[in-house]
Homo-oligomer: A and B are copies of this chain.
Amino acid sequence: MLINGKTYRTVWMADGLIHAINQLLIPAEFEIITFHDTSEVVDAIRTMVVRGAPAIGALGAYGLAQALQQLPRLDMDAIHRIKSQLQQTRPTAHDLAHGLKYVLDHIGPARTLEEMKALAVEAAETYAESSAKACKQIGAHGNALIEDGARILTHCNAGALATVDFGTALAAVRMAHYDGKSIFVYVDETRPRLQGSKITAWELAQEGIAHAIIADSAAGHYMRSGDIDIVITGADRIAANGDAANKIGTYEKAVLAGENNIPFYIAAPLSTIDFQIRSGGDIPIEERDESEILYIDGQRIASPTSPAMNPAFDVTPAKYIRGIITEQGIFKPEDIKTLADRHA
């Protein structure tokens, strides 16, 4: 992605150190943060210094590879402990499990500590590289759905910063823009953490793509007024039946799109699909701290004694999803099953 005219990825590794864009400071500041060990990686995922399902999948892979560099001997128990420590940082995104498993699978043949270290780094690099490539392909497939003049609604940030590069929903938007299509993006601010206002809008501004931020509540109004042609969001985990978990509020946008005959698409790499999970009801939904609702920048914005409830994700049933845009093309939710068979 292009930031202040320079090319970046969200997360990368060099000489045993992991570097990432600090997403907590965007849009106010642009900072590269460095992680030296597992505890720093765990903190970064938990506090959302790095967020977005594909991005934390890659960070998980790098994090495991880094931890293995620091092992004194080939100790499979220790490796599994580190893996579950990384795994438990955030429960909803499937890519994290996918990235960790990828590295673990690839160190299997190692006979020596040195061999294992080399294989782990190679696997993490391959994982991140193929994740970026998948997003680029998602963009190409998604671009085909976006007509010249299209007004697109997106929720949360499914941009380059949510992935290693390019984004998922925003990859499609980027490719349409690069193709010279005139497009306009309605950006849901995405309470409580405002990833729409802070990150998606910032990415679009960096690329010079026309957009406006709206309150999450205004999306339905614009759909009903005929101002939105297509809705595209990302996903954190997709069940085998096509139900998709994504940022809280995605379900609302999908229902409203359906009600107003506007196509609703999910853009996500195949690594987001959890073939072990039959339907959305089985996807664990992370409940985050109430302070995200009650405070902004340390300032209380609510009645002083009132509690809040803060589910971070919701599940959009497959019936509201027109298609899932993946690196292998656009699938109807019911066709996920075919992919499952292919993966079996």
Residues of A in contact with B (beta carbons under 8 Å apart): 27, 186-192, 194, 197-199, 201-202, 204-205, 211-221, 224, 247-249, 251-252, 255-256, 259, 293-294, 296-297, 299, 301-311, 314-315
Contact = CB atoms under 8 A, between A and B. Distances in A.
Given A192-B215, A211-B306, A303-B205, A256 B248 contact: no
A-side interface mostly: mixed
Work out how many copies of this chain go into the complex.
2
Contacts of A198: 301-303
Given A296-B296, A301-B198, A217 B220 contact: no
B217 A249 contact: yes
A29 to B, nearest CB: 11
A216 B213 contact: no
Contact of A249 (B194, B211, B215, B301): B215
A190 B217 contact: yes
Contacts of A201: 302-303, 306
Nearest to A191: B215
Contacts of A247: 217
A104 B278 CA distance: 66
Nearest to A258: B259
A80 to B, nearest CB: 34
Nearest to A254: B220
A306 B307 CA distance: 32
Contacts of A219: 252
A306 B202 contact: yes
Contact of A197 (B202, B255, B303): B303
Given A192-B215, A197-B293, A214-B310, 7 more contacts: A211-B306, A212-B306, A212-B307, A215-B216, A215-B248, A218-B311, A220-B252
Contacts of A214: 293, 308-310
Contact of A213 (B218, B220, B256, B306): B306
Contact of A302 (B189, B255, B294, B306): B189
A262 to B, nearest CB: 13
10 contacts: A197-B302, A197-B303, A211-B307, A212-B309, A216-B216, A216-B249, A218-B309, A221-B315, A255-B256, A296-B299
Nearest to A187: B306
B220 A314 contact: yes
Contact of A252 (B252, B297, B303): B252
A302 B220 contact: no
Given A212-B306, A214-B309, A310-B215, A251 B27 contact: no
Nearest to A215: B191
Contacts of A309: 186, 212-214, 218
A247 to B, nearest CB: 8
Contacts of A307: 211-213
Contacts of A194: 301-302
Contacts of A224: 251, 314-315
A145 B314 CA distance: 29
Given A201-B302, A314-B218, A189 B191 contact: yes
